[in-house]
Amino acid sequence: MKQYPSYDKVNDEHKWDLESILEGKSFEYWLDKYVSIFKDLIEIKDSKYESIESFIAGLKLNEQMEIVDNKLHNYISNKTNINLTDPQPQEMALKFDSANEELNKEYGSEINRFFKNADKLKLWVNDERLKSYRKMINDTLDSFNHKLSNDVEEYLNEVAFGEPNLEDVFNILTDAELRYDDVLDSKNKKHKLDPISYSKMLKSDDALLRKNAVLQYRKAKLQHKESLANMLVQTFKNISVNAKVRKYKDSINMLTYEDKVSDEILLKLFENIASLKDDISKYWKHYKKYYEAHFKEKFRILYDSNRDIFKVKNKYSVEEAKEIVYNALLPFGTEYSDTIKQAYREKWVDFMSVKNKLSGAYSIGNTYGINKKYILMNFDGELNSVETLAHELGHSMHSYFSDKNNDITNASYPIFLAEIASIFNESMLYDYLIEKSSSKIEKFTIYSHIISGFFGTTVTQAKWANYEYELYKKVDANEVAPNYEEVAKIYYETLKKYYKKPRKFKKEEQIAAVTIPHFYMGFYVYKYAIGQLVANYFYNQYKLKGKEFLDKYINNFLSAGNSDYPLNTLKSMGVDLTSDEFYKKGFEHFHKCLNEWIKLGDEIFAKSKAKK
């Protein structure tokens, strides 16, 4: 599907309606309103702590400002993302940022004022009038145990501006400064290598091109292996020092503290994902068999794993994708499906790929006070785009139910739960597509897609999280030298248990140990693995219990927002992350898909062999 040269060339029905954020008023109107409310907050910043009534009035005023802030941020960022070169939203952002900078200087440190009045807040917190704020207040009071003195906190805030940001250095090095050699194919033709062309080369029909692409891509990163290792260890050391001075048990404890996730939960995840090694080995054994039968060439796991055995040439229009996704999600009930119709009708989704538009896809955050839970896409007509629509609608519907059933303080669901609804929607989509398909090859391809998604989201993320976990523990104990060989060995030794027959250690093959951007973003990739397992568990429960479970899912999960801690929200759905039984049920969908894939593969290739 074509990329449009400019946004004005896109059909209106395929654009989102951002102007409704402003409710018929101008950007300047909302900016003035924001400034006015902020000034009112500045005026009462100290006096609001004089009585519980004043404190509640301050909270209500802050909520008003937060809604206006949501409108301004979403209007500016989404307007920017449809044309990254458009100066108008950049000018809006500058005005908004400048206003915020001045106002924040006047406002000063709210957290210091909060802790100064901690004794009052401990008395007030159980008042019924503060019921909806209780979790937020208790969480903030609890964080006092890890706060440094006001002078030290102020010093850290001031010097933070001059601190080196190693994540930025990593991104510059890996995104802009890696130099890739050209890649030769079997006809001695040169191909330019970069991250985008690399993905395409891995699916090429040219075996030598695939191998050379892998080797040259790895070589470019290996040239900087010592710098990358040093930066990663230093990043972990910075977190480790922070955890120690703030009196956390260790780095992992600090990074999982907000979600109240214990080491027991993490170790249970690693242990159970590692237990799948026989199933993963079984998959690759059959993939190799089907690959060699189809392509008539030897399978090489390092170079050929991304190649599609079959290319199902289905092309979907936007309207077809919308209809398929709508029908796939009908089991969620009337309100859910009516809201999807509303999303289509009221133009929540910006579909098309346009020059200078942000790549990828997302559903907006900070949605409270915004009726439309907007989605940005780059629709290309492939099955992946249909999946993306279902996935992003999962996020948007989660936001819709969270906002509808909670006040603003408790509406925004935590990242820990964020991927569950979207992955559940993917399962519903594939269930629908498989049911409607009459082609064995198409079903085989869909099952391949599901299994690959499980490996990428659950298995790989759990392995990476396990490596991060071990590296943090060793850094906390001061047992890691900042060099590539040592880090590569930790990576290899940690991941060995996930393979039935681990490859021999070759340090050049461990380059992922220092090149994954997520490692610079705190300890969070384990949440993706848990998210998919919970989504699989939900799908399994839906297949067993039908509408009864889906009603519970909407009422107890989608509508929960941030009203409770994520582990408690999951417990209300019957999920216990410390239980082997949860993992058993979470793996059932994967096992079913794997067995169906093998059954179809054996039938397809037996038939193909018989024809000869």
Token look-up 């989660």 returns 398
Q: Residue with structure tokens 């999946």?
A: 387
Residues 6+ apart with CB under 8 A from 92: 27, 75, 76, 79
Pair 70, 35: CB distance under 8 Å: no
Q: How far apart are CA 134 and CA 138, in angstroms?
A: 6
- For 412, phi then psi, to 5°, come to -80, 105
d(CA 515, CA 482): 14
Give the C-alpha distances (Å, rounded to integers) separating 392 from 343, 375, 406, 418, 428. Answer: 12, 7, 21, 11, 13
| Start-to-end C-alpha separation, the chain | 37
H or E stretch including 350?
strand 349-352
Closest CA to 426 of 302, 339, 496, 325: 325
Is there a contact between 487 and 229 (Cβ–Cβ < 8 Å)?
Answer: yes
Is 53 among the residues known to form the active site?
Answer: no
In the numeric block, the tokens 């993706």 are attached to 528
Helix (H) or strand (E) segment spanning residue 394: helix 383-405
Are 83 and 357 a contacting pair, CB within 8 Å? yes
Q: How many CA atoms lie within 13 A of 572 on its CB side?
A: 16
Contact between 433 and 324 under an 8 Å Cβ cutoff? The reply is yes
Closest by alpha carbon to 27, among 94, 119, 102?
Answer: 94
Alpha-carbon distance of 437 to 442, in angstroms, equals 7
Indicate which residue of 13, 177, 392, 426 is catalytic: 392
Q: What is the 3-state secondary structure (H, E, C) of 51-102?
A: CHHHHHHHHHHHHHHHHHHHHHHHHHHHHHHCCCCCHHHHHHHHHHHHHHHH
Give CA–CA dist 553/465, Å, rounded. 28
Whose CA is closest to 600, among 313, 310, 205, 204? 310
Give the C-alpha separation, 352 to 7, whole Å.
9
Residues catalogued as catalytic: 392
